[in-house]
Structure 1
């Protein structure tokens, strides 16, 4: 496990909130010299504590009003086929192999409930190797900062 100090924590926290922040603004915000912030970020990337800089898309503004987590049980011999077929479905964003009552959890987006129903029943239900599924429609999301972030 990599060790981070308070400056690294501040940098990670600020970049988590807004990865597009400029080095000068970030250094001003955390009260650390710009050259130090720049070298710290380079070091965090090199140590793979920062995997990448990205953006957060507002899916609802793009017309994806429904998010679902769908648990799927499958024939383990068909695992690779099931996962490949899932990624061919528009709206499927992430497939996670998990422990528990499901073999995989699929995160997906749809414009509305009717489209989500079609995806689950027509697309997922017809994949060879899928034994059964159960979907959970997201009603509301609340997030919390990770423990490495300062308050």
Structure 2
């Protein structure tokens, strides 16, 4: 586990809220110079605390209005089968996220498509082509309450 102090937490909170915030602006808010901010960010990137920067995209604005969570149970559970499923499913562009989970299923997929017709085509022609799937159960999102990769314990660091 990386050593993160209060200043690092504040930097993470700033970046979490606005990845475009300059080192100079963060330094100003923290009463520091930009160089140590830059060095801390580079260290956290190197240590894997910061894993990347990306734009949050609204799928509905691109015509992708149906989100589905799909529970997948596999027939066989040997390590090779699990690894092969992970590799196969991540080749499908409709799959936004894939989690290996405990409980009644083996994997939970987040799938984003335009509509029910596109989802049906996805199930019949793409997901069904993956070997070793024993069962798939779909859960259709009716209303998105929260969809943000936001970590409250990071944003609370601004209040330290």
**TM-score (norm: length of structure 2):** 0.80
Q: How many Å separate the matches in 1 of 2:30 and 2:138?
A: 43
CA pair 29-121 structure 1, distance change in 2 beyond 3 A: farther
Deviation per CA, 1:2-49: give whole Å up to 9, x if none. Answer: 232221111001111121222112223343321221121122122221
In the other structure, the counterpart of 2:144 is: 140
In the alignment, the residues of structure 1 paired with residue 83 and residue 48 of structure 2 have an alpha-carbon distance, to the nearest angstrom, of 28
- Partner Cα distance (1:46, 1:88) in 2: 28
Q: Secondary structure at the match of 2:60?
A: coil
Distance 1:48 1:89 in 2: 27
Other structure's SS at 1:61 match? helix
Task: Out of 131-140 and 9-18, give the one that drifted further.
Answer: 131-140
- Give aligned pairs, total: 151
Q: TM-score, normalised by structure 1?
A: 0.84
Q: Which ranges in structure 2 are unaligned for 5 or more consecutive residues?
A: none
Which structure: greater helix fraction? 2
3-state SS in 1 of match to 2:55: coil
Structure 1: gaps of 5 or more residues? none
The match for 1:97 is 100
In 1, the alpha carbon distance for the partners of 2:74 and 2:112 equals 21
2:153 counterpart SS class: coil
